[in-house]
Amino acid sequence: MVEVRQLEVTYSGPQGPVRALAGVDFTLPDGESCAIIGPSGCGKTTLLSVLAGLVAPTAGRAMIRGQPVAARRPETALILQDYGLLPWKTVEHNAELGLLIRGVGAAERRRRVEEVLRELGLWEFRRHYPHQLSGGMRQRVAIARALTLGPDLLLMDEPFSSLDALTRESLQETLLDVWRRGGTTLVLVTHSIEEAALVGRTVLVLSERPGRVAHRLENPSAGRVEYRASPHYHRQCVRLRRLLADGAGRQAGPQRSRRAAGGGGAP
């Protein structure tokens, strides 16, 4: 279970403190999928970084399976939009990096990397370098690298936003295939309404910076096969679009002085 309580993150920027998150609250049962959507700069990446243990909360807390998030929770995997792959490593060496870092032996690394690369249709490309692959293939490698670790929590930051529509759809299907097998909680940050509605059985709409959960949309059919073609999906997209326009337009929750606090000023 992912449990986020009154989470606040304030960065110390060069022009004084920057309040990225102000009181984010949500819980997510194991094995669920959650999409997070919100205006750019509202703290989505920050929220994922906290869950990944890369950024410490300024106040409040984030718990995973009852434990406060630690810097190196080995069962958490993070996939970023770009730059996640090392240009100097081939596909197979990129894919095995997490295992290598965790000290997994060579034979076991080979076995797991082969399994995952085959599953994602990357096996023929294992000797290629990232720059020899299309954007979609590269993102596939990033997913492969995460999956070799057998994560129970998969965090993704706008993973498909730079891909063309067809590639994006095919990767979304790959991702959902993986998720449907079970055992993995999925948290996906996206700026695409369609993607959020397709993937997230729960969709969190964040407010403008400093981010907080402005709306929560229950979307229990998400992740089902063929959901994309159903009228229900389209209705959910419309609903989400409205929530987003509403949540992004103004701050949710108690208004007072939040804005002033987020706007910087004397350190």
Least separation, in Å, of the C-beta of 189 and other proteins?
A: 14
Within positions 182 to 241, which residues make up the interface with other proteins, using CB under 8 A?
A: none
Q: Does 102 bind other proteins (CB under 8 A)?
A: yes
Q: Does 45 bind Mg ion (CB under 5 A)?
A: yes
> 20: Cβ–Cβ under 8 A, 6 or more apart, which residues?
9, 10, 11, 43, 46, 209, 210, 211
Of 41-49, 69-77, 231-239, 246-254, the window that binds Mg ion (rule: CB under 5 A) is: 41-49
Give the total of residues touching other proteins (CB under 8 A): 30
Q: Which does 52 bind (CB under 5 to 8 A by kind): other proteins, ligand ADP, Mg ion, none?
A: other proteins
Q: Which does 98 bind (CB under 5 to 8 A by kind): ligand ADP, Mg ion, other proteins, none?
A: other proteins
Residue whose token pair is 């929770």 = 73
Q: Which does 101 bind (CB under 5 to 8 A by kind): ligand ADP, Mg ion, other proteins, none?
A: other proteins
Structure-derived torsion over alpha carbons of residues 79, 82, 85, 87, reported in degrees to the nearest 10: 180
Across the strands, what pairs with 175?
A: none
Report CA torsion sign: 37, 179, 85, 122: negative
Least separation, in Å, of the C-beta of 144 and ligand ADP?
A: 24
Q: Which ranges of 120-192 does DSSP label H, i.e. alpha helix?
A: 135-147, 165-180
- Distance separating alpha carbons of residues 23 and 4, to the nearest angstrom: 9
Least separation, in Å, of the C-beta of 52 and other proteins?
A: 5
Residue ranges in contact with ligand ADP by CB under 6 A: 11, 13, 18, 20, 40-46, 209
